[in-house]
Chains A and B, each alone.
Chain A
Amino acid sequence: MHIPNGILDPKVSAGASLAAAGVLGYCIARVRQALSAAVPEAVLAGASNVTERSKKLISSFAENHLMRMGAIASLIFAAQMFNFPINSGTSGHLLGGVIAAIALGPFSGSVVIAMVLAVQSIFFADGGIVTLGANILNMAVIGTLASYYIYYVIKRLFRNRAGSYVGIALAAFASVLLASIACSFEIALSGTIGLSQVLPAMLSVHAKIGIAEALITIMAIEILKSIAFNLDGMIDEE
């Protein structure tokens, strides 16, 4: 769902970029805040000389979290390369926002997806540079941050393992559909084609991709658990 250059009007691209930059800035601030809020415990655990020792702990703590973000970003980048057939002549690929948000937290997850989209756009010509802001808004903000809270609410409602799986599946399905709705609105607002034409077409294709996204997301979460990736995270972003 990477929008190429030329499809969006410059005003729509600029507006989407501004919105994406604002939310992404907030996400980065929240990750920094969560990292520093988590530090006092780490410092108290083994430091008598707070100044020097705590500095080292803060560095290694932040470094660990950033390396986890890098690893998940790499995995999602690779998974997005894998186009699977959905029906004759059409393929789909993973968005991965819900995987990133569950593995790392919603704010770190958004930053990770935004970074994946930036690398895809700059090195692989997958998604335009001018439309990068719109792609970040659709997939990193709506498809990751907003969709994570669908999982969060369902998980809180059921409070059991089955509820958690239902939450993952619905959030992953919704992430693709919501991103495709946002994409349709951006295309229609740009005057490229009418909303009445683009929205039904986008929804019908992406509903099928969304089902695959739900299945792959559950599978990916199980694989991450099986290789001892701590899904409770190092920091509390909720």
Chain B
Amino acid sequence: MRNRTVFRVIMLAAIVAIFAGLFASLNPDGLEKVMGILKFGAKAKSTSGVFIDYQLPMFPYPALSKALAGIFGIIVIFFIFKSIARVRYLGELLKKLLNIR
């Protein structure tokens, strides 16, 4: 039951990522705007990342690119939490094995 709910939330996240690709505003966000108005934006150093501006590298369709980058992010984030759960479980299995020995 809970897993079905988790699946629904992830599907909802994927739908939101697709909508973000199609309809998100390209204007600067609140902090970027303030950095521009008060002229300290030039101090910002660009950071390297695989998906800069939520775009797949060298992909020709920006909307689809953003949606796919978003879906990648969703998968990474979910699997980080899933792996933490798995590691905990593996830890217990390891303890069990050591006890047997």
CB-CB nearest in chain B for A122: B49
Residues of A within 8 A of B19 (CB): 82
CB-CB under 8 A for A67 and B82, given A59-B89, A72-B9: yes
Q: Are B37 and A68 in contact (CB under 8 A)?
A: no
Instruction: Count A interface residues, CB 8 Å.
Output: 67
Count of chain B residues near A, Cβ 8 A: 63
- Name the A residues within 8 Å of B2 (CB-CB): 64, 67-68, 230
Identify B54's interface contact among A75, A122, A126, A197, CB under 8 A: A126
**In contact, A192 and B9 (Cβ under 8 angstroms):** no
Set B23, B27, B49, B73: member contacting A77, Cβ < 8 A: B73
Verify if A34 is at the interface (C-beta below 8 Å from B): no
Interface hits, B1-48 → A, CB 8 Å: 1-3, 5-6, 8-10, 12-14, 16-17, 19-21, 23-31, 33-35, 37-38, 40, 43-48
User: With contacts A78-B20, A89-B28 known, is A125 near B10, CB below 8 A?
Assistant: no
| CB pair A119 B77 closer than 8 Å | yes
Per the bound structure, the CA–CA distance linking A110 and B66 in Å amounts to: 26
| A81 x B66 contact (CB < 8 A) | yes
A43 within 8 A of B: no
CB atoms of B85 and A73 under 8 A apart: no
Binding site for A on B (CB under 8 A): 1-3, 5-6, 8-10, 12-14, 16-17, 19-21, 23-31, 33-35, 37-38, 40, 43-54, 66, 69-70, 72-74, 76-82, 84-86, 88-89, 92, 96
Give A contacts to B, CB under 8 Å. 1-7, 55, 58-59, 62-64, 66-75, 77-79, 81-86, 89-93, 115-116, 119-126, 128-129, 180, 183, 187, 192-193, 197-198, 201-202, 205-206, 209, 223-224, 227-230
